[in-house]
Structure 1
């Protein structure tokens, strides 16, 4: 009976986590928000490696010094998230700097390369994300889910059999 209660609790927790994650993903989609994993501590203490920043698009005219923005590289191969140190509106350039870096980034970015402004961040979620992106994670998650469902089914059948509800009950 105790095992059944523990497994039922685990099943409920797993279901709630799944429901919460689906809701969070839906919220991000509805608000047109995209998450980016932070790879370095260049923005510490604001956020560090392993965090995820959530970014919403922003119009160039709404950019201000001090905004934390995610910028795409000119060839589109990577993004980085830094604070705007200064803006040259005539040349349509933003000069960025990581809070933990001693100087501005070596190259300014064209305003058209600004993906968006950071809306919020969640520490350590990037680490979880990296684990979830591993090849074995979906298989492991599916196996755990199947084991929980199978265990619950078996315990329910055992409970019914003990109460005399099984087919072979005399």
Structure 2
């Protein structure tokens, strides 16, 4: 049993805490890294916030969208686009394309009717490559504007604490080994 600052932590409990600590650190770093690398590679990550694309992309799915030329988009493709001047991002399936007007008619899979306003080609973000159920919620938290830097800072602090603990533990073990040799 180790006693530190009046707080006792048994060996097994310490290992569990170390494992949780490491998992959280790695998860934050991986999610942040994937988001950054994805943007550099022309990929965008979004969280599905409505049920309009169920069952293929349920609420809280994480979708990966690749930038493509609008001319390459065909009926049946699922696209992500900016729907209005407020910057609202929507993901729906293309029903038809009008190359003359440079618009798409779209519809949510769970909706009964086509979207009322055609999507201008210039408002297209890209085509959905795939989705991962249940990861959209955590991604939304991590990628929120102010939270992105906060999560990066937390990951850095966790990493430094983990390295510091390892250094402290190694030093303590080396000191104990040196004392037992004498």
Deviations 1:41-67 (A, max 9, x none): 211111122222111222232121100
* Structure-1 residue corresponding to 2:4: none
SS at match of 1:144: helix
Paired residue total: 168
1:50 aligns with 2:64: no
Compared CA separation, residues 152 and 123, structure 1 to 2 (3 A): same
Native 8 Å contact 1:83 1:96 kept in 2: yes
Compared CA separation, residues 8 and 161, structure 1 to 2 (3 A): farther
Compared CA separation, residues 165 and 72, structure 1 to 2 (3 A): farther
1:154 aligns with 2:164: no
Query: How far, CA to CA, are the matches of 1:23 and 1:89 in structure 2?
Result: 37
Native 8 Å contact 2:28 2:151 kept in 1: no
* Structure-2 residue corresponding to 1:83: 93
Matches within 5 A, 1:106-145: 106-132=116-142, 133=144, 135=147, 137-145=151-159
SS at match of 1:164: helix
Native 8 Å contact 1:131 1:137 kept in 2: no
SS at match of 1:119: strand
So what's the TM-score if we normalise by structure 2? 0.72
- 1:19 CA displacement: 7.1
SS at match of 1:150: helix
Native 8 Å contact 1:8 1:152 kept in 2: no
Query: How far, CA to CA, are the matches of 1:21 and 1:129 in structure 2?
Result: 7
**Structure 2: which 5+ runs fail to align?**
2-10
